[in-house]
Amino acid sequence: MSDESNVAVLLISHGSSLPYGEEVFNEICEKFKSLSKLDAEVGYMKVSHPTLKEAVSNLKERNPGLKRIIAIPVFLANGIHTNIDIPTILGLNPKEVDPRQPDGNYPKGHYLYGLEDIDFDGDLELLDAIGPNPKLLKIINNRISSGLKESKLDDDSKTGVLLVSHGSRLNYNYEFISNLFNQFKEQTEYPCDFGFMELVEPNIPSSINNLTKNNDIDRLIVVPIFIAPGVHTTRDIPTILSLIDGDESEHHHHHHHDGEGHSHSHSHSHGHGDEKVEFDGEILYPDPIGSDDILIEILWDKVKEVL
C-alpha cells in the first residue's frame, strides 16, 4: 500500500435540484471518512456544489502533500456520466465516444463546453461505477423487511417484490439491473420482477401488471434501486404508483428522512404512457439506498483494491 497520508478520495455525485441529494452525499462522505481513515470530499458533476474542480481544490488545500486522488463515481451503473462526462470534466480520456457528440466538440451552454482544467499535478485515478455488487442484495432485503413493517395486512398475506431502476439509453443500466435482479431472484422466495422508470422497457406498470397477474399477490413491495432521494424517487415513481397525485408539489418529501414506508390500497390508475397499474392490493415503497452502511463498505472495498 502507498503511504496513505498523501492519498485522498473524491466521491462523485450527479447533483440534484432537491436538497436531500446533498444531505445524503454529505452523510456518505462522513461515513466513508470514518471507515477508511482517508480524507474524502464529494464533488458534483452538475447543478450542486462543490463541482469536481472545486472538490479537488478542497482536497489539495487540506492535504498539502497530496500526491494521489482516487475518484469514485457513486453511481450504481456505468453510463454516459461515468464513461464520458466525468472523465472529460476530470481531464481524463473518455472511456468511449460520446453518442451525443461524436466529434467531442460540445456546443456553448453544454456542461462539457469550455471546461477549465483541473488543477492537480498528482495521480488522478477514476474507478468504475458500483455495478451489480452482491452486497447490494443485503440492502434490498433490508428494504423489503422495512416495507413489511409498514404493511397493514396480515403476516401471511402474499407478497411480491418489484425492483425499480431509472433506465438509460445506453445498455449499461439494463445490464446492471438484470444482473442484480438475477442474483436477487436466486436468493428470494418472493415472486419478483424489475421495471424501469423511463427510457427502457419493461416500464413499471407493465412489470407490476405481469407480476400480479401471474402470481397470487396481496401486497407489492417496490424497492427503488437508486442511491439518493431526488425527483425520481420522491415524485416520479410515487406518481406512477398512485401513492401521490401527479400535481402534488415537487417538494413533496414523502417522509424520506424519517424512514417511513408508504402503503396504499385503493385502485392504482396512474400509468406510464397508456399503461396503467391494474393491481389493487397494497403497495409498499421503502426508501432508496441512501447512506446505508453497506454502501459505504462497497465503496471502501473498491478503493482498497487500488490502494
Structural domains of the chain ordered from first start: 4-74+79-127 (3.40.50.1400), 136-284 (3.40.50.1400)
Q: What pLDDT sits at residue 273? A: 58
Q: What pLDDT sits at residue 3? A: 64
Q: What pLDDT sits at residue 20? A: 84
Burial letters for 72-89: b for 16+ Cβ neighbours within 10 Å, e otherwise?
bbbbbbbbbbbbbbbbbb
Q: What pLDDT sits at residue 178? A: 95
Tell me if 227 sits within 8 A of 288, measured CB to CB.
yes
Q: What pLDDT sits at residue 261? A: 42
166 included as an active-site residue: yes
Question: What is the spatial distance between Cα 212 and Cα 270, in angstroms, rounded to a whole number?
Answer: 16
27: exposed, middle or buried (Cβ count in 10 Å: 0-12, 13-18, 19+): middle
Given the residues 14, 81, 166, 232, select the one marked as catalytic: 166
Q: What pLDDT sits at residue 247? A: 62
Residues 6+ apart with CB under 8 A from 23: none
Q: What pLDDT sits at residue 230? A: 85
Mark the ranges of the chain whose per-residue pLDDT is less than 70. Answer: 1-3, 246-274
Distances 148 to 142, 160, 193 between C-alpha atoms, Å: 10, 11, 18
**Cis peptide preceding 238, ω within 30 of 0:** no
Query: Could you tell me the pTM of the whole model?
Result: 0.89
Q: What pLDDT sits at residue 98? A: 92
